[in-house]
């Protein structure tokens, strides 16, 4: 069975634009998965983090992978891109967050769905609203209106 999932893609180290673009291509190469939509690129200030601005996007996937298997595949892509986790919210070469997986509701030590902080982050909500406006309420967008973000 195919499920529509949404992945937030971001980077703020190295050539972040190229890393985000490559990540979307890599998502399309995951087994039993295809990218069906991709938002524009956005530049955003680090949120609860330090370092250079981020380049962000959101990709919509149709996948036959269940949520834990998709998360594992995303983490493998991060590792291949040189992602290190020296401390919480450290600058990163690539960040892939599974934000929605169909209507899956999950709360485990390794994965919570929907993503528990997606409604606090303009860099998730604005690109998500671009490709799936039915998934983002005007009220949610209003709560993040003060965060610096620009569509590229």
Three-state helix/strand/coil letters over 63-84: ECCCHHHHHHHHHHHHHHCCCC
The SS3 call for residue 115 is: coil
Q: What is the rounded CA–CA span in Å between residue 113 and residue 103?
A: 9
Q: Give catalytic status of residue 38 as yes or no.
A: no
Q: Which of 38, 83, 121, 135 is catalytic?
A: 83
Q: Which of 26, 43, 95, 121 is catalytic?
A: 95
Q: Which of 38, 97, 121, 135 is catalytic?
A: 97
* 8 A C-beta contact, residue 43 and residue 53: yes
Q: Give catalytic status of residue 151 as yes or no.
A: no
Q: Give catalytic status of residue 83 as yes or no.
A: yes
The SS3 call for residue 43 is: strand
Q: Which of 38, 43, 92, 121 is catalytic?
A: 92
Q: Give catalytic status of residue 121 as yes or no.
A: no
Q: Which residues are catalytic?
A: 83, 92, 95, 97
């Amino acid at each position: 069975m195919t499920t529509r999932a949404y992945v937030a893609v971001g980077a703020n180290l190295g050539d972040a634009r190229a890393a985000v673009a490559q990540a979307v291509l890599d998502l399309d190469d995951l087994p039993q998965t295809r990218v069906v939509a991709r938002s524009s690129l956005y530049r955003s200030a680090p949120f609860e983090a330090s370092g250079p601005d981020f380049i962000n996007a959101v990709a919509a996937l149709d996948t036959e992978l269940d949520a834990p298997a998709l998360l594992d595949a995303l983490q493998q892509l991060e590792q291949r891109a040189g992602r290190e986790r020296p401390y919480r919210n450290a600058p990163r070469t690539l960040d892939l967050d599974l934000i929605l997986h169909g209507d899956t509701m999950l709360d485990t030590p390794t994965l919570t769905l929907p993503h528990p902080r997606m409604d606090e982050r303009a860099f998730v909500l604005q690109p998500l609203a671009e490709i799936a406006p039915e998934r983002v309420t005007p009220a949610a967008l209003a709560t993040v209106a003060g965060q610096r973000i620009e569509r590229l």
